[in-house]
Structure 1
Amino acid sequence: MSDTSLSSNSTGAPMSAKPARRDIGIKRRYASERRFRLYGVLAICIGVFFLCALLFTVFSKGYTAFWQTTVSIPVMLEQKVIDPGNKRAEDPNVLITANYPVLVRNALAQHLNVPASDKSAMRELGKFYSDGVRVQLRQMVMDNPSLIGTTKNINFLASADIDSAFKGQIDLSVPEANRKVSDRQVTWMNTLSEEGVMGQSFNSGLFTFGASSRPETSGLGVAFVGSLYMMLIVLGVALPVGVAASIYLEEFAKKNRFTDLVEVNINNLAAVPSIVFGLLGLAVFINLFGLPRSASLVGGLVLSLMTLPTIIIATRAALRAVPPSIRDAALGLGASKTQMVFHHVLPLAAPGILTGTIIGLAQALGETAPLLLIGMVAFVANVPVSPLDPATALPVQIFMWANEAERAFVERTSGAIIVLLAFLAIMNIAAIILRRRFERRW
């Protein structure tokens, strides 16, 4: 009788069944947690893998863009080529229209012992150096006409094909007919390299040159200035408007249907595709107000509209994070509501506002679609002096280079992506540092 009562409950079921079921449930729960952690680790690994693949692809193709092949040899600035009639005093345009690349070709021919009678070799020599020497020598002679008739050691750029071959980006083992660099040019390249007059140097032109149809003379100078103008306009327009709107909605506006509608629309605007803002800018700023196309002013205004919701949402979150006790204490000491907001709440919310602003600027810096619609895809060779001058931007320059057919532009495109990623990384790191530096925990 006692054995039966110990092994069974009132329903007749064994008492050991409940602990067994409990143990199985615990094991299943632990197994489920382990699977969830495994899925999480797997998701992170997949994301890191694709990120590393992206960075490896960009850096492997673009790091060579920061180095450029140059040749440094003495060049005779012959008067018979620059000013054969000695008319530069009467007509300064003579110095502008002179055939300066011939001077470099003749200097190379003399250095490599190529006879001038060999027309085929002279044509290949003409493709050995960049046509940018025309501007380089012309500017040098116009700045100092007394150089005519003298010999100067000139450091000039190699052509894009020679640059690619010198960097090992062209397979020289394939037949000569299947590559853009001839065997004779390869021989000259090796000779100049062994003599130490041909080598690679830091490509400062990547950061100073404007747009060009020649890869070796293309740079991000115009895009840098255009992006700088646009970021200043975004900072000057979106920040004060966004902060003012946030303060009003969070501190002064009454909670009613109108403010609820405004808040919903602000949140919706933050999710609107950026190309829609480009259409808005085209319709309002260009077609209605008549502002110039391709101008940094229009680009800055369009990006300001796109960045405004981000700044408003971040600012409202920063204001909401300030404890109500700060407000109550300020009002209790006799401060007005305006004094309470601007003297106490706003300074405490400044780190969050600053972080949101930097993130908004970083987002605007990487936008391309709205700028394409307002014409900032134009070919601009000269650095803009004001926001009303034609300009382009870093992401737009990347877009234009990516559409070029020449092999050397692939290198330039990846190099520009590296520069853009560096700027975005710096801005996001700055936001994190500022947030941790000035953040207060309540």
Structure 2
Amino acid sequence: MTDATLSKGADSQGVGVDPARVSKLQAGIKKRYAKEARFKLYGVLAVSVAVGFLLLLLGRIIEQGHTAFYAHEITLPVYMDPARIDRTYPQGTNFELLVAEQELVRLGVQDDEQGTKARAMRSLFSSELKFRAAALVRNNPNIIGQTVTIAAPASDEADLFYKGEISRDTPSDQRRISDQQIVWLDQMKASGAVRTHFNGALFTNGDSTEPELAGVLGAVVGSALMLLVTALIAIPIGIGAAVYLEEFSPRNRISDLIEVNINNLAAVPSIVYGLLGVALFINWMHLPRSSPLVGGLVLALMALPTIIIATRSSLKAVPPSIREAALAMGASRTQTVFQHVLPLAMPGVMTGTIISMAHALGETAPLLLIGMVSFVPGIPHSAVEPTGALPSLVYIWENASERAFHERTAAAILVLLAFMIVMNAGAILLRRRFERRW
């Protein structure tokens, strides 16, 4: 409001302009504009801080975990010595020592009588070497007595050295590879025997005690089975309970008590649900420990309050005129709810359901209490087999003593975040696809 506007309004009413009053009004307007500008600034700062912390978190995880997505493989010619290879049981042959001794000869290194240098060379190769060599002999016994090429993953320490995670400038007593081993690694790389490749084993292998062979597939399958159990139990029960409480339940003290307790259960710490799962499903029902079945049941209990609250909020958002119009056309109460109200509320129901599933996917505390923190190699094939989950795998790897597990911890976090981002993106798309504005 300008001076001209104030003067014009005053003159039109035949009233003289009071300069003090105009000045006071102008000062008030400036204060309101200043408050609005400060509020906008506070909002921008708040969003900037949130985005900054998010980028810092993602940047730190990516910085630590990107090296886990590629690995190094050492390709070496190996003479299949007939005197040392067991034809009937190739797995019993010490291929690692055989390759190490031949590689020392190729590098012109003389071993001592105790075989110290051979053992040091042997530690630069993953144990996967013996399985690949044994598979070659088992599939084609005629290669015995010939020289073949075998590609084996580098050990975790050798892999970290090639990635620059272990520096040659670090004092030898502070690293697990010696100066002599570093020289051998440099010589093998200079000869062209070392190849960098995408670490597909990270996505195709289960957990392992050796970092270079550990993968997330077992945990991914375990999480998928667990979420399947959670969805089959929590979604129908949660939506059914919400529909009854919102549309059919009488309004009395009992329904008020139930509503208060549902809201309270949504705020209960997740570790309490883990304790409930141990007492109810393992100790009383004797269900298999560390199985996706028990994990899914525990997470279903935890997801139920969230689904019920989200579904009730979506039902409340449907205009009362929809119910009144359906009832006026002769529809029953059940027909009104299930043929008109619930379909219109379904976008919000689906959004709340998917978000609760994503929240359940990232829970760790309940899984630790029901035993899903144990080391379980291999891939589960049913919901009653012991297995791990992505959150518990992150916990296990981060607490492992081997340094190479730490980069895989960050990689597992990235996989978990990808799952959660996909689920939340699906919730947003579903809501925008089916949302109606009244």
**TM norm. shorter chain > 0.5:** yes
Does residue 97 of the first structure (1) align with residue 57 of the second (2)? no
Secondary structure of 2:196's aligned partner:
strand
Tell me the C-alpha RMSD between the 2 structures.
Answer: 2.2
- Which structure 2 residues correspond to residues 14-413 of structure 1 after superposition, within 5 A? 15-83=18-86, 88=88, 94-115=89-110, 119-142=115-138, 148-413=144-409
The CA distance in 1 between the partners of 2:143 and 2:329, in whole Å, is 78
Secondary structure of 2:314's aligned partner:
helix
Worse-superposed segment, 276-285 or 407-416: 407-416
Shift of residue 180, structure 1, vs aligned partner: 2.5
Worse-superposed segment, 29-38 or 429-438: 29-38
Shift of residue 326, structure 1, vs aligned partner: 2.6
The CA distance in 2 between the partners of 1:386 and 1:107, in whole Å, is 45
The CA distance in 2 between the partners of 1:140 and 1:250, in whole Å, is 66
The CA distance in 2 between the partners of 1:95 and 1:130, in whole Å, is 18
Q: Residue deviations 1:186-237, cap 9 Å, x none?
A: 2332333233321211111112222222211111122111101101001101
Shift of residue 435, structure 1, vs aligned partner: 1.1
The CA distance in 1 between the partners of 2:106 and 2:222, in whole Å, is 42
Worse-superposed segment, 287-296 or 191-200: 191-200
Letter in 1 for 2:94: N
Aligned to 1:430: 426
The CA distance in 2 between the partners of 1:51 and 1:129, in whole Å, is 38
Worse-superposed segment, 314-323 or 299-308: 314-323
Q: Residue deviations 1:407-432, cap 9 Å, x none?
A: 21111111111111111111111111
Indicate how the Cα distance of structure 1 residues 238 and 136 shifts in structure 2: closer, same or farther if over 3 A, else same. farther
Unpaired runs of at least 5, structure 1 = 1-13, 89-93
Secondary structure of 1:81's aligned partner:
coil
Q: Residue deviations 1:369-422, cap 9 Å, x none?
A: 010011110110121121111111101100111111222111111111111111
- Contact 2:239–2:308 (8 Å) recurs in 1: yes
Letter in 1 for 2:330: G
Shift of residue 250, structure 1, vs aligned partner: 1.4
Letter in 2 for 1:19: V
Indicate how the Cα distance of structure 1 residues 144 and 256 shifts in structure 2: closer, same or farther if over 3 A, else same. farther
Secondary structure of 2:84's aligned partner:
helix
Secondary structure of 1:201's aligned partner:
strand
- Contact 2:380–2:387 (8 Å) recurs in 1: yes
Indicate how the Cα distance of structure 1 residues 143 and 354 shifts in structure 2: closer, same or farther if over 3 A, else same. farther
Indicate how the Cα distance of structure 1 residues 126 and 321 shifts in structure 2: closer, same or farther if over 3 A, else same. same
Worse-superposed segment, 334-343 or 349-358: 334-343
The CA distance in 1 between the partners of 2:311 and 2:81, in whole Å, is 66
Indicate how the Cα distance of structure 1 residues 383 and 141 shifts in structure 2: closer, same or farther if over 3 A, else same. farther
- Contact 1:282–1:374 (8 Å) recurs in 2: yes
Shift of residue 264, structure 1, vs aligned partner: 1.2
The CA distance in 1 between the partners of 2:229 and 2:151, in whole Å, is 39
The CA distance in 1 between the partners of 2:434 and 2:364, in whole Å, is 33
Worse-superposed segment, 248-257 or 135-144: 135-144
The CA distance in 2 between the partners of 1:317 and 1:140, in whole Å, is 62
Identity %: 50
Secondary structure of 1:386's aligned partner:
coil
Secondary structure of 2:73's aligned partner:
strand
The CA distance in 2 between the partners of 1:292 and 1:152, in whole Å, is 47
Shift of residue 252, structure 1, vs aligned partner: 1.1
Letter in 1 for 2:42: Y
Worse-superposed segment, 58-67 or 331-340: 331-340
Letter in 2 for 1:103: L
- Contact 1:281–1:302 (8 Å) recurs in 2: yes
Shift of residue 276, structure 1, vs aligned partner: 0.7
- Contact 2:120–2:181 (8 Å) recurs in 1: yes
Indicate how the Cα distance of structure 1 residues 254 and 31 shifts in structure 2: closer, same or farther if over 3 A, else same. same
- Contact 2:207–2:216 (8 Å) recurs in 1: yes
Secondary structure of 2:100's aligned partner:
helix
- Contact 1:73–1:107 (8 Å) recurs in 2: no
Unpaired runs of at least 5, structure 2 = 1-16
- Contact 1:239–1:311 (8 Å) recurs in 2: yes
Aligned length: 421
- Contact 1:95–1:142 (8 Å) recurs in 2: yes
The CA distance in 1 between the partners of 2:34 and 2:58, in whole Å, is 36
- Contact 1:371–1:396 (8 Å) recurs in 2: yes
